[in-house]
Amino acid sequence: METARQATSPHGERQGHPADAHRVLDRCRALVRPALSEAVGRLHPWIGEMAAYSFGWCEVGGAPVAAPGGKGVRQALAVLGAEVAGAPARAGVAAAVAVELVHTFSLLHDDIMDGDADRRRRPAVWKAYGTGPAVLAGDALFALAVETLAAQPGGAEAVRTLSAALGDLVRGQADDLLFTERPWTGPERVRPDEYRAVAEHKTGALLGCAAALGAALGGAAPETVAALDRVGRHLGIAFQIVDDVLGIWGDPRVTGKPVHGDLRERKKTFPVLVALDSPVGGRLVALLEAGDAPGAAAELIEQAGGRAAAMAEARRHIAVVDTALAGVPLGAGAAAELRALLGFLVRRDI
């Protein structure tokens, strides 16, 4: 989940309440940081350095730095999950630490699998430290996440929630790796419903887990926990689809990504899959395969309704998020902050 691509909508307007969302993220990050630092400090020093590098806390070699880390969306969801359940923010901290560790573990390993050499404008851990050490550091963060949750009261249930999300993460990554080998068209093609499942597994499962774990540790009723899991899962799908739209039509000055990058990389994104299933599918395949006219491909996808279908799909998932949030009792102040955060992540008026 990148940050720059979220700063504006596909049409370039400013977000609804970016200041509110940033305030929430900053508050949660500050709250969680001591516990996260303490957990990372218990790692083997070499592994701990790789972890700190990933979080943007140090350079290779260990010199302190304040490089851009992640926004900390997952830790914020965990803290807000506890708060909407009426518990103090600190009740969600262990969940926040666990999900940030798992998220970082998955970035470390996914970058190896996907061959992505950069992460947040710095060399990825496998590029900076080597593939073997990056595999090991990921494993260590994974183990630390499990250890952190298992030490909580009610830890078994929390670990079950986390391991289910981990299972989904792995399943989503497996399908995503296999997508690259599948044909553009024909019976073996990737279908939009498979795309939705991968987006839910790769992105939604951990977002849902974060909010659900925070709520569960905050003593929420099972319906509230389930509703927040659902919120995170549909948020993840909506986020991913909006990200796909930005990856084709977004302003590179805002997204920080090369124009038409996803088309050049021949990614099987939602707008592309929709257009491939339309009468212009054959022409689109030829353009994508040739790879030299991504602008023409983007135009063809838009003509075929790929962009509109993607935005409609994203809106559908945002509606599910709204319905899920409306269906359970939530502490008012925290719920407003949660809505500000969700609105920041995926524009509510797209």
List of residues contacting a second copy (CB under 8 A): 44, 46-47, 109, 112-115, 131-133, 135-136, 138-140, 142-144, 146-147, 150-151, 154-156, 159-160, 162-164, 166-167, 169-171, 173-175, 177-178
* Distance from C-alpha of 3 to C-alpha of 109, rounded to nearest angstrom: 20
* Distance from C-alpha of 119 to C-alpha of 243, rounded to nearest angstrom: 16
* Distance from C-alpha of 268 to C-alpha of 176, rounded to nearest angstrom: 9
Identify which of residues 125 and 350 has a Cβ nearer to a second copy in the complex.
Answer: 125
Identify which of residues 37 and 278 has a Cβ nearer to a second copy in the complex.
Answer: 37
Minimum CB distance to a second copy, residue 172 (Å): 9
Any idea how long the chain is? 350
Minimum CB distance to a second copy, residue 162 (Å): 8
Identify which of residues 8 and 106 has a Cβ nearer to a second copy in the complex.
Answer: 106
Identify which of residues 146 and 340 has a Cβ nearer to a second copy in the complex.
Answer: 146
Minimum CB distance to a second copy, residue 337 (Å): 31
Identify which of residues 168 and 337 has a Cβ nearer to a second copy in the complex.
Answer: 168
Structure tokens at 308: 């509109």
Minimum CB distance to a second copy, residue 53 (Å): 15
SS3 342: helix
Cα separations (Å) of 311 from 171, 190, 262?
25, 19, 17
* Distance from C-alpha of 310 to C-alpha of 295, rounded to nearest angstrom: 18
SS3 245: helix
Minimum CB distance to a second copy, residue 304 (Å): 31
